[in-house]
Structure 1
Amino acid sequence: MKTKINEAIKQVLQQFGEKYFIEEVLNKNKVIRDLDTYDKGLLEAFISNETLKSNFTIDIAGNIVMQTNKLIELFEADEYWQDSYTKYSKKIGLTAGGKFIDESTDVVLDFPYKDTVLKASMSKEDTDKDDLRPDEPFLNEVIAKEEIDVLLDKKILVNAKKYDDNGEHEVDSFSEDDNLIMKGNNLLALHTLKEKYAGKVKMIYIDPPYLFKETKEEDTFNYNSNFHMSTWLTFMRNRLIISKELLIEGGTIWININEDGMHYLKVLADSIFGIDKFLGTTPRRTRYGKSDVPFNYSQDFDFLLAYSNVEEKNQVIGRKVERNYYTSEDYPGRPWRLTDLTTQRNYKERPNSYFTMVDPKTQKEYPASQKRTWAVTKDTFQHYYDNGYIVFPDDYPFLNITKPYMRKFEDEDMASGKLSSVISDFLLQDFLKELLTNCTNKLGNDEVNQLLENESFSYPKPENLLKNIIDISTKENDIVLDFFMGSATTQAVAHKMNRRYIGIEQMDYINTVSVPRLQKVIEGEQGGISKDVDWQGGGSFVYVELMEKNRGFLKSIRDARTQTELHEVFDFMVKEAEIDFRVDLEKIKDTLHELSFDDQKKTLIKIIDKNQLYFNYSEIDDENVRDLISNSDYSFNKNFYDEGGE
């Protein structure tokens, strides 16, 4: 198994000549013994290697301490070093298959790092095929720590193109102002973006595969969404963790989820973002009732869970309100408006504000309410009145008021920069009204059909839903991210609202639905929210793909229709594919023909190393890899990762 840690250990041990090798085969027992006895020379060599230092040391009061126990555990794992001389260390315990239970990667008590969502049944169409129907549609494979650096390393980007008013163009550079559409596994794509976009995304909206108990008509995804709860939670956890790292301070994430998964997801998201960062739950009407439903109870809503990353005193959502201001001769050049002069506190809570207010001009009296006292105290009334902040009913003939109000000047509103509260002014009125009446799945379906006449999506989300979320959580030029892009509703709305955006999608319809939709947005299509925001067209976006490695073999296996085709794929795999290091390839060669055609496919899918679905950027200058990349894509990668041109 070739990993950075594996190679680093081998390099360190080779410095000692034949001390730790017997005819080029590692003597694990010797290494373990020297680690156990704190051999000075060996420990110094390990600490001198930066890869091993970062993975196997801790800093205690400025002193570097080698975690020899972790190294010993690694060497005791049989799969880590194949064909090595070994024997049990001085240890007593339960064993299975010649290994101690606590050394077995088959025993998992924690979330695995990796999910193989591209394996076999990412789509419902795949699941419907008998030859690829797995026991667990979204399969997980436990990945050892030493492999994580390979799995989550940034990837090579290929087929870079820019779409603008003039159509599609090859591109060899990337600007910070460019919108980005990325094709590939979204977990790996998010980690590819981490270095460039960490702490820069203002709003994330995702509409992930739901935790359905059974396939439903309103399943809006071509993803296979029927899978075990533990797998689904792992699937979501991995993505939410990296999402959190991408959010700018004060950013928000909005997760669209149905009733099957909402409460499980809420607990999971609380653990990741913090229960104190939870903004709230908002219902969205998805349809208007059905009769053929369980218990005769039609569930016509899904929900939005929203989180931020700052304390509740911060304004992370709000909106600019178009207010009506008055002008008067006594305040020339200073338009003003009225606001409530009472508070929600009663006379016991604010005794100094419980007094009868008297108009100095008319001597009319205005007693305070016991339940809502004045916002000013008896002692501060004169100060506020003298400075023009209190208006009485008889002050202006054009006012129709029966009690005193507070005056707010327009220049003060502008200076404060404060957004109107979503809770009192927007959410329970306009926002909730829109989500309950004008954001149904059918509206989203009609919008896409009018644009593309494409039936890839049964019920994509309507543009109005995203408009409302983007409006209260971002301003122009903020970055919006959706890594379950689907039909590109989020990106289309962000484009029309002059937000920067990133979209990630791994399904092939990205090139038949998502990108064509955004091209029509650039052309000035008038569907969805276009008329509301006076959209006239324009703008651009850059499209790239994670460079496929083993993922291409998965597709070839799935597409094979005959024994001959499948064996040709296998022959090519033997030469070029990354095979799981635990696999006895010679045995596979000898016995594959004995299996049924269906089982042959399952076997070939199983032996592929899922950590090598795409080429890592670190491989871009390898001779064999460089030949596969165009000069334009090579320059694009160097520019995207800020390493200059060729």
Structure 2
Amino acid sequence: METEILSQVKKVLITFPEYWDNENLMKNKVIEDLRKYKKELVECLLSNQRIKDAYSLNIENGFVFKINEFIEMLRFKNYWEDSYTKFSNEIGLTSDEKYLKYNSDVVLDFPHKDCILEGGMTKEERAKKEIYYHKVLAKEEIDVLLAPKVFSNVKRYSEKGVEATTKFNQNDNLIIKGNNLIALYTLKERFAGKVKLIFIDPPYNTGGDSFKYNDKFNHSTWLTFMKNRLEIAKDLLAPDGSIWITIDDDESHYLKVLCDEVFGRDNFINNVVWEKKYTIANDAKWLSDNHDHILVFAKNKDVWRPNQLPRTDEMNRAYKNPDNHPKGVWKATPLHAKSGSPNSANFSYKFKNGVVFTPPAGTFSRYSKETLMRMDEDNEIWFGKDGTAVPSRKTFLTDLKNQGTPSKTIWRFNEVGHNHEAREETKAFNAEEVFATPKPERLLKRIIHLGSNKNEIVLDFFMGSGTTQAVAMKMGRQFIGIEQMDYIKEVPLVRLKKVLEGEQGGISKEENWTGGGSLIYAELQELNQQYVEIVQQTKTETDLYEILQKINNHAYYDYKVSIERLTNRDSGFKDLSFEDKKNIIIQSLDANQLYVNFSEIDDAEFNILDSDKKFNESYYNNNGEEAQ
């Protein structure tokens, strides 16, 4: 616990009067003595067990004092304030802890970068005061926060309806309700290294979307939020997997550098530009914003390859058959290639009609003499209408029928859909327009086609309206979806139930979708989270105090909270406004005890149902059998 460690550090340093100027710690003097390995200082620090646990590495027959990490904490922490980071407000590219303008090796640095951000909103309209856990100083809290959780309220959805289940199979589609960071770590127990494609449409941090955190470091908060989730996403990706992230101009360039750091700059594939609107905003103050970015990174670019796109009718129209060749329509292609391409040596070849082929200077023939001879015999060389043009090869469409074409990086709305089309798709199963900018099914179809094959796993941990899962189901992929917002049952689950039943919207007709299959729905078993939601929904003072008594008996407070001040009606708590009381109670709950850890599933205090215990046993012990 950070506060505890800091108090222990102060407890040790207070015994060295030479390090203090009244109440101010002279950090530079402490650091200087640490650099000199001042014996009495080092011994005194390491005699404190909490400091030793946080800043030492156990080795055979001893331990090593991680003195540089300790110095980093002293140097960059506003020692007596609740700051977790090296910088007070700056965000930029750094190398060797210094900001820079020009360098080929750079990383993105920002406040809270070395922290875990829980990000536990459940309703879009409610901002949440976030808690940051420092990875070194708050290791225990993070271990608890990210430990595997208990699944509860498990149901299997199919075209036949909804039924209880106690089994999980490796090839089951899975929908999880709960905090997506915590759910991702729970997935790691079963799916590490097995996900072929991750698509996410995260909050864009524009101020007008669902990322409404009351934090003066809003930009840094967003970057921390994304970094935490991208790091575990990388662990889930298969060696030949890829991640696709939609984002707009507000954060796209920062996100690119962040992804460079997480996935490796060498694993960047492309920035796809998607034309998301089919109209131009005539009232635009500056330029009309008509596109989003789709950042594409591979887990390992050396082994990842995208699938080809199907050939279009427009491509095929370029093929003709002016000489009535028996193999059908064809298109003339050059016999030579650019310099430097891997082809046979330069030479000349004389065709049957007397035309001599010599590749232009600086180029090489694509074909050997033997291949040119065969094509000449089979009438597969074109010399133009008058028979005297530079010879070209006849590339027959029949030879390309099973081949695709590489994807371009600019996707027009007429190819993959636009926001208005997506809103119409969501209205078909949700009359209330919850999502202002959902993604169209055609867009997800292209991404899923390029990045995965049938039966491979597609993951989306910002599930939203469920477009990714709907398209994955129609395309024969296994899918996993995570959503922490309360609308999960009213929107995406309703949509997926209709997909199971064979709904014909979106890409259904072109994929010949008629329904079928199943999915597992499970919730992370709430602990403190259930009380957060109850308090948020409370309408009267009387109900609030009744709930407060339940919280006192069953919930977990943050260790810094004075329960007496909350429960004593004579304290200042009673004078707060109703909304302030609710906020104080919520903030007093231990944020890393939002859900029940799997290690505590048999604790009678949590009343886990036997059926849920069986499902969890099936999931975590990887012994799923035929679904029941």
Q: Over residues 199-237 of structure 1, what are the superposed CA-to-partner deviations in whole Å (9 max), with x where a residue is unaligned?
A: 10011000000021x42xxx5xx5537861000000100
Q: Is the Cα–Cα contact under 8 Å of residues 115 and 138 in structure 1 kept in the other structure? A: no
Q: 2:619 is matched with which residue?
A: 640
Q: Is the Cα–Cα contact under 8 Å of residues 549 and 614 in structure 1 kept in the other structure? A: yes
Change (3 A) 1:190 1:314: closer
Following TM superposition, by how much is the alpha carbon of 1:639 offset from its aligned partner in structure 2, in angstroms? 0.3
Residue identity opposite 2:63 in structure 1: M
Q: 1:302 is matched with which residue?
A: 292
Change (3 A) 1:529 1:563: same
Q: Over residues 382-422 of structure 1, what are the superposed CA-to-partner deviations in whole Å (9 max), with x where a residue is unaligned?
A: 36645999964379x9x9x97342879999998xxxx7552
**Aligned counterparts of 1:290 and 1:412: Cα–Cα separation in 2:** 42
Q: 1:618 is matched with which residue?
A: 599
Q: Is the Cα–Cα contact under 8 Å of residues 268 and 301 in structure 2 kept in the other structure? A: no
**Aligned counterparts of 1:391 and 1:575: Cα–Cα separation in 2:** 89
Change (3 A) 1:314 1:492: closer
Write out aligned runs for 1:12-411 (5 A). 36=43, 57-58=57-58, 63=60, 65-67=62-64, 106-109=83-86, 110-118=112-120, 123-127=123-127, 137=128, 139-143=130-134, 144-212=138-206, 214-215=207-208, 219=209, 222=210, 224=212, 228-287=218-277, 288-295=279-286, 297-312=287-302, 314-319=304-309, 340=333, 342=335, 344-346=337-339, 353-359=345-351, 361-370=352-361, 373-376=364-367, 380-382=368-370, 385=373, 392-393=380-381, 403-405=391-393
**Aligned counterparts of 2:231 and 2:455: Cα–Cα separation in 1:** 25
Q: Is the Cα–Cα contact under 8 Å of residues 283 and 435 in structure 1 kept in the other structure? A: no
Q: Is the Cα–Cα contact under 8 Å of residues 133 and 142 in structure 2 kept in the other structure? A: no
1:597 correspondence with 2:595:
no
- Paired residue secondary structure (2:156): strand
Quote the sequence identity (%).
34
1:629 correspondence with 2:612:
no
Q: Please, what is the CA RMSD of the aligned residues?
A: 4.2
Q: Is the Cα–Cα contact under 8 Å of residues 375 and 381 in structure 2 kept in the other structure? A: no
Q: Is the Cα–Cα contact under 8 Å of residues 123 and 223 in structure 1 kept in the other structure? A: no
Following TM superposition, by how much is the alpha carbon of 1:606 offset from its aligned partner in structure 2, in angstroms? 1.4
- Paired residue secondary structure (1:635): helix
Change (3 A) 1:526 1:38: closer
**Aligned counterparts of 2:623 and 2:416: Cα–Cα separation in 1:** 48
**Aligned counterparts of 1:101 and 1:457: Cα–Cα separation in 2:** 41
Residue identity opposite 2:143 in structure 1: D
Following TM superposition, by how much is the alpha carbon of 1:588 offset from its aligned partner in structure 2, in angstroms? 3.2
Q: Is the Cα–Cα contact under 8 Å of residues 194 and 237 in structure 2 kept in the other structure? A: yes
Write out aligned runs for 1:493-532 (5 A). 493-532=471-510
Following TM superposition, by how much is the alpha carbon of 1:318 offset from its aligned partner in structure 2, in angstroms? 3.1
Greater shift after overlay, 156-165 or 305-314?
305-314
Q: Is the Cα–Cα contact under 8 Å of residues 242 and 304 in structure 2 kept in the other structure? A: no
Residue identity opposite 1:182 in structure 2: I
- Paired residue secondary structure (1:161): strand
Residue identity opposite 1:633 in structure 2: D
Following TM superposition, by how much is the alpha carbon of 1:486 offset from its aligned partner in structure 2, in angstroms? 0.5
Q: Is the Cα–Cα contact under 8 Å of residues 278 and 308 in structure 1 kept in the other structure? A: yes
Q: Is the Cα–Cα contact under 8 Å of residues 341 and 406 in structure 1 kept in the other structure? A: no
Residue identity opposite 2:467 in structure 1: T
Q: 1:541 is matched with which residue?
A: 519
**5+ long unaligned stretches in structure 1:** 6-31, 78-92, 128-136, 327-331
Change (3 A) 1:350 1:555: closer
**Aligned counterparts of 1:238 and 1:247: Cα–Cα separation in 2:** 15
Q: Is the Cα–Cα contact under 8 Å of residues 444 and 462 in structure 1 kept in the other structure? A: yes
Q: 2:435 is matched with which residue?
A: 457
Q: Is the Cα–Cα contact under 8 Å of residues 332 and 382 in structure 2 kept in the other structure? A: no
Following TM superposition, by how much is the alpha carbon of 1:124 offset from its aligned partner in structure 2, in angstroms? 3.5
Following TM superposition, by how much is the alpha carbon of 1:509 offset from its aligned partner in structure 2, in angstroms? 1.1
Q: 2:425 is matched with which residue?
A: 447
Residue identity opposite 1:310 in structure 2: N
